[in-house]
Amino acid sequence: MIAQLTGIAPATLYPEFLAALRASGFKGQTSTDYATRTVLATDNSIYQRLPQAAVFPVDAEDVARIAALMAEPRFQAVKLTPRGGGTGTNGQSLTDGVVVDLSRHMNNILEINVEERWVRVQAGVVKDQLNVMLKPHGLFFAPELSTSNRATVGGMVNTDASGQGSCTYGKTRDHVLELHSVLLGGQALHTRPLTDDELEQACAAPGRAGEVYRAARQIQETQGELIERTFPTLNRCLTGYDLAHLRDEQGRFNLNSVLCGAEGSLGYVVEAKLNVLPIPTYQVVVNVRYSSFMDALRDANALLAHKPLSIETVDSRVLLLAMKDIVWHAVAEYFPADPDRPTLGINLVEFAGDDPADVNARVAAFVEHLQADTSIERLGHTLAEGVAAVNRVYTMRKRSVGLLGNVDGEARPQPFVEDTAVPPEQLADYIADFRALLDSHGLTYGMFGHVDAGVLHVRPMLDMKDPAQAALVKPISDAVAALTQRYGGLLWGEHGKGLRSEYVPAYFGELYPSLQRLKGAFDPHNQLNPGKICTPPDSAEGLIRVNEAPLRGDFDRQIDERVWQSYGTAMHCNGNGACYNFDPDDAMCPSWKATRERQHSPKGRASLMREWLRLQGAADIDVLAAARSKVSWLKGLPTRLRNNLSRQRGEADFSHEVYDAMAGCLACKSCA
C-alpha cells in the first residue's frame, strides 16, 4: 500500500510522551522549541518535514528508555526517527514525529584494537573523526564519502553507505563486524555472524530479539530462489533489508545484512564494531582528459581492465565550476587548459599500495595502454603522485556537490535521482538515455560519480519555488526508476531509499511481502521511521509517495519574491551540511563546534532565517520596509523591555530564537 504517512495524533500525545520520558530517568535533553524543530526539518534533500520534538540521548540506556515507552499501548501512535549527521539526500531522517539525535552526545570512540584491526564506536562518531584517531596506527575505516567530515558511523550503517573505491573496499556492511541495537520495547540486540548452533540459540531467545531472528531465518530458508532472482548482481546491490547476504561466505547467519541500510526503520543502532584496514602508503592518480563526457564514460570499461583502486568521473559543468573555486589553484597543473580542445570530461584513475615500485609499474602499464589504444579519443593525461598530490585532486572532486550549488540564478541542482546504479558495461548507454530524458524536459544538470561501480550522480537543475518545475520531480522519478530497471540497475545505488520508497514494491516484486514480515517482527505498529522502505503486514499506513512529502520549495515560495531576493544567501543554502565539519582545526564553523547545537551553524541559521521570513510575510509584516525604518535607541527601548519581560516569563517567540542563533555568529566568514 502507498499512502500518506500518518493520521493526526492527539494534540497531547507527544507532550505526554516527552513528560513520561523525562520521568523515566532520561538523562539527555528533550526539545520542543520551534528553532530546533525547524533546523531538524531539513537534511540534504528537497524535502522539509517539521518534527513534533527532538530528543538527545546520552547513552544506550537513554535510547532503551525511549524504545520502552514507545511500546506502551498509550504511546503506540508515537513515531520516531533516528538522526546522525543529517547529510541524507532523500529525507531518510526527516519525520513529523520525534527526531532521536544520536550525534550530540553518543560520539565516543570506545576501543581501538590495532593488532586485530578493529574499533568500537558509538553511533554518533564522525567518519573523519574516527580516521584521525586511526591514522597514527596506520589504519583507516575504508568506506569513502564526500560528506566524511560530518557523516556519522550510525548514519553510514543505516544507509549502508559507500562511495569512491567501493569496488575494492566494498560498502559499510562489508566492514561491520558487530552491531549493538535497541529494539522496540527497549530490548538490546547484539548482532554478529552466527553458526547454526548459535542461530538456534538466538531464535530461542525471549522477547522481540528471538522473534526477529525467527522471522529472518524463515525468510532465508523459504525464499532463497526468489531472493537470488530478485537481487541484482551489482557492486551496490540493494541497500536496506539485504536478504541476499543473510548468509555470509562462510555460511554463517548475519542479521547485520538486514540492519545495514534499514534507515532506522527496524531499531536504533547505538554501537558498532568495525573492521579497519592498513592505509596504503603510496598513491598515484592518473587524470585522463576527454573532449566529451560520453567519451569518459565509454572509456571506463577498458580502464577497469587494469584493476585500479577506483575510477571517478566528472563532467564539464562540475569542472567549469571548480575552475572558478579557490580549490582550483591547487590542482590546475593536473588539468592543463587548451582553448582549441577544451576538456569536457575527466576520469580520475587511482592506483595504490605499499610498494611504490609495484604501483609505479602498474601505472606505467596503464599509461602504455592510454598511448596505444585509439578506440577512444583522449586529450591527454597527467599524474598526481603521492598522498599529498592525490588528496589535492580528491578535495576538488569531493567539493563537487557544493560547487554545483554555486550556480547563478534560482534553478539549483536537486538530489532526487542522483545515485542510480547500473552494470558498469551498461553505464554509457544508460546515461545517454538518461540525458535524453532530462533534455526532453529542457533541463540542465551536472554529473559526477563512480564509473567503476556504475554509479553516477545526476542532479537536474530546478527552481523548486516554481510549482511547475517542482511538479517535474514525480514524472522524472517515475521515468528514471523505469529506466534503471530496464538496464538491470537501481534507482538507489548509494544514498538509500528514504522518501523514494514508493518504488520499493515494484523492485522487490514477489519478495516485498517478505520484507513486510521482517518489518512486522521488528516494528509491528509502524513506529520506527514509518513510510520508508516498507510497512508491516496489514498496516493502515503506507509508503510515502515522492509527491506527497512536503518540499522545501513549498515553504520557500510563500516568501515574497522581493524578500527572498534580498536574502539570497539564506535561501540558496543547499543543505549538504559542510558547516558541520567536525575538525577542530578547521574554522568552519566555530559556534557549531562549541555548542553542538545545529541552529548555531550556517545551515541552521539559514533554515531559521527562511522560516522567519515566511512567518513574517504570513503576518503581513514587510521586513524590507522595517529594515529601512531607523528607530532610535530611545524609541526602541519600550519594545526591548517588553521583549525581555516576555522572555523572562518563558513566553515562546520564534523571533527571539532566530535572534539568539544569529547573535552567536562570530562573523569569521568561513561559511562564505
For residue 509, what are the contacts with CB-CB under 8 A and spacing of at least 6?
A: 230
Give me the domains of the chain, ranges plus CATH numbers: 1-279+503-548 (3.30.465.10), 282-481 (3.40.462.10), 558-663 (no CATH)
Enter the pTM of the model. 0.93
Cβ-contact 243, 258 below 8 angstroms? yes
Cβ-contact 18, 30 below 8 angstroms? yes
The predicted structure's pLDDT at residue 493: 86
- What is the grid cell recorded at 285? 592518480
What is residue 635's three-state secondary structure?
A: helix
Q: How far apart are CA 30 and CA 50, in angstroms?
A: 16
Q: How far apart are CA 63 and CA 595, in angstroms?
A: 22
Q: How many CB atoms lie within 10 A of CB 252?
A: 15
Total length of the chain: 672
DSSP character at residue 544: P
CA-wise closest residue to 448 among 321, 574, 337, 576? 321
- What residues pair up with 284 in beta bridges, in sequence order? 351, 385
Instruction: Give backbone dihedrals phi and psi of 101, rounded to 5 degrees, phi first.
Output: -85, 110
Helix axes 207-222 and 196-203, enclosed angle (nearest 10): 130
Q: How far apart are CA 307 and CA 124, in angstroms?
A: 34
The predicted structure's pLDDT at residue 31: 97
What is residue 536's three-state secondary structure?
A: coil
The predicted structure's pLDDT at residue 626: 85
Question: If residue 315 lies in a helix (H) or strand (E), which one and from where to where?
Answer: strand 310-315
List of the chain residues with pLDDT < 70: 1-8, 235-239, 400-402, 405-406
